[in-house]
Amino acid sequence: METVTHFTHVLLDGDQEKAWEYVVNEVENGTSTEDIFYQLLTPAMVEIGKKWQENEITVADEHLATTTCDFTLARYKHEIILPRMKNTPTDQGKALFFCVEQEEHDLGIRMIAQIFEESGYEVRLMGANLPVEFVLTMAVNWKPDIIGMSASMLRQGEKVPSYIQRLMERFEDIELLIGGRFLSLPDQLLDKADDSKVTMIQEGSELSAWISNRAKGGK
Amino acid sequence: MIHLDAMPMPMVIIDHSLNIIEASGKAEKLFGRSASFLNWVDHESKDKAVRFMQHKHVEKLELNLVTAEGVISLFTVFINWDKNTAAVVLQLEDQLIVQLMNKVKEHQRRLEESDMELILKKNELEVSFGRISELSTAAIHLTDEVVLIPIFGDLSVSLIHYNQERILNNIYSQNIDEVIIDLQSVGRMDEAGVEELMKMIQSFSLFGAECTITGVKPEHAPFLNQFKTIKKLTFINNLEDKVARIIC
């Protein structure tokens, strides 16, 4: 917990080197990628969001912290995940990730993409603010097995059902993963889909369970 | 007192319940008419507005406000209380940030697009490569019983793997008696590739076809020594003589 508080300040200071030191330290202590993302990076960014709500920081501070976290993530992929995966086959399938239209908060989906990469998937990350037409074009050409989408704000979350519908009517066999902060908002209206091809992910642990279940060939 | 409409920025006068007592023309044009200031505040900023404007009287606050056109924008709100009313100035904050972010996103999108193009090109290349590989081991029927397979390019495991099935099918279904493999257009060889070729030649003999290898270059000779163990395999140094004999 104390580490999270320190790490939050490091991000707000925009200190990329220091932020990386924290992460490397965790890696050396044997902390898993999931734990680094879910127990350090995510809580720090949540804390930064709270600080804005508390009128303690401005949006400019938030932007700086976000870029710093973004940089840390990019470095994590190249210095930790890719070397780890060098001699491991990527044979679990293809996974495509993006944020829905007008959603600019893409840190979460970037973490998820890396977790899939480390789990032996071939991953394409299409980033923030992606209109459904782009997703469809990419899916037709690249033929993913899994498509994961994320929305953070309520207004963007309202677009998720139409994405699900457009993707499901076009691709019968693709599994859809839905995640992001909007799922936890009291006003969001997305039903617990009963379709076995659509899974809502609210907690990191749910995703880990989903991945290991799929690796075993279960549903 | 200066009239509100004279102010260069959108401005309102509010009471302690955040009711709007008076709004400048600029404010009403931007947000529409409203009885409460809270109606202009984005859903997810409402708590913040109530806490810091109503419960605490801060002088400066960032809030997401919703314009009459439905656009959520970041505003810095300056508040000055005087007994029961407060003057509130609204300063649109994120225009510059939005412009910069849009530029960055534009670049990102462009990178993503070229990334996607590269993937599609890669797929096309893989198809072309397969085709090239097929053409590198064409099976030419010299007579009904004799097939010539000139191999072009580097002799690698993948080259043999890619073409083995097609060649074996051809030899089996056409009742071929003799296969001539011409190596004169082969560039590099490696041991693994040679081993695969040897396995394929052994399969020929299972179908009763004899095999002749021609066009061996000096640098390939060391790799091919192991071939001597295969029965029904001969080496010749001149393809012309062989073809002439077959045709006669």
Candidates B72, B101, B108; nearest CB to A127: B108
Question: Mutate which of A50, A53, A104 to disrupt the B interface (most B C-beta within 10 Å)?
Answer: A53
Give the pLDDT score at B30: 93
- The radius of gyration of chain A's CA atoms, rounded to the nearest angstrom, is 17
Full domain range(s) for residue A134: 94-215
Residue B114's H or E segment, with its range, is: helix B95-135
User: 131-150 in A: which are within 8 Å (CB) of B?
Assistant: 138, 141-142
Considering the domain architecture, whether residues A61 and A112 belong to the same structural domain is answered as: no
Considering the domain architecture, whether residues A169 and A207 belong to the same structural domain is answered as: yes
Query: Among all residues of chain A, which has the CA nearest to that of B72?
Result: A155
Query: Among all residues of chain A, which has the CA nearest to that of B66?
Result: A155
Considering the domain architecture, whether residues A155 and A69 belong to the same structural domain is answered as: no
Q: How many CB atoms lie within 10 A of CB A148?
A: 24
Give the pLDDT score at A219: 46
Considering the domain architecture, whether residues A175 and A79 belong to the same structural domain is answered as: no
Q: How far is CA B32 from the centre of its chain?
A: 45
Candidates A55, A60, A128; nearest CB to B48: A55
Give the pLDDT score at B161: 87
Per the structure, the count of domains in chain A is 2
Considering the domain architecture, whether residues A99 and A207 belong to the same structural domain is answered as: yes
Q: What is the pTM of this model?
A: 0.66
Question: Mutate which of B54, B116, B118, B122 to disrupt the A interface (most A C-beta within 10 Å)?
Answer: B116
What CATH number is given to the structural domain containing A133?
3.40.50.280
Considering the domain architecture, whether residues A73 and A7 belong to the same structural domain is answered as: yes
Show the low-confidence residues of chain A (pLDDT under 50): 219
Considering the domain architecture, whether residues A147 and A72 belong to the same structural domain is answered as: no
Among A38, A121, A118, A48, smallest CA distance to A83 is for: A118
Q: Give the closest-approach CA distance of B62 to chain A in angstroms.
A: 7
Considering the domain architecture, whether residues A136 and A186 belong to the same structural domain is answered as: yes
What CATH number is given to the structural domain containing A57?
1.10.1240.10
Do A103 and A128 touch, CB atoms closer than 8 A? Answer: yes
Last residue in a domain, options A37, A58, A85: A85
Considering the domain architecture, whether residues A74 and A134 belong to the same structural domain is answered as: no
Considering the domain architecture, whether residues A79 and A114 belong to the same structural domain is answered as: no
- DSSP state string for A105-165: --HHHHHHHHHHHHTT-EEEE--SSB-HHHHHHHHHHH--SEEEEE--SHHHHTTHHHHHH
Pairing of strands B140-141, B153-155: unpaired
Q: Take residue A215 and report the two structure tokens written for it.
A: 């690796």
Considering the domain architecture, whether residues A72 and A131 belong to the same structural domain is answered as: no
Burial of B194 (0-12, 13-18, 19+ CB in 10 A): buried
Give the pLDDT score at B236: 84
Query: Among all residues of chain B, which has the CA nearest to that of A125?
Result: B112
Q: How far is CA B38 from the centre of its chain?
A: 45
- From the first residue on, what is the mean pLDDT of each consecutive set of 10 residues in chain B (248 residues)? 83 95 94 95 93 93 92 91 94 75 68 68 82 82 89 88 88 88 89 89 86 88 78 79 74
Give the pLDDT score at A24: 95
Last residue in a domain, options A61, A85, A109: A85
Report, in this order, helix, strand and coil percent for chain B, each rounded to 5.
50, 25, 25
Give the pLDDT score at B94: 64
Q: Do A126 and B47 touch (CB under 8 A)?
A: no
What is the tens place of the pLDDT at every residue in A169-183? Answer: 899 899 999 999 888
Chain B interface includes A102 (CB < 8 A): no
Considering the domain architecture, whether residues A176 and A202 belong to the same structural domain is answered as: yes
Give the C-alpha separation, A77 to A94, whole Å.
18
Last residue in a domain, options A85, A107, A126: A85
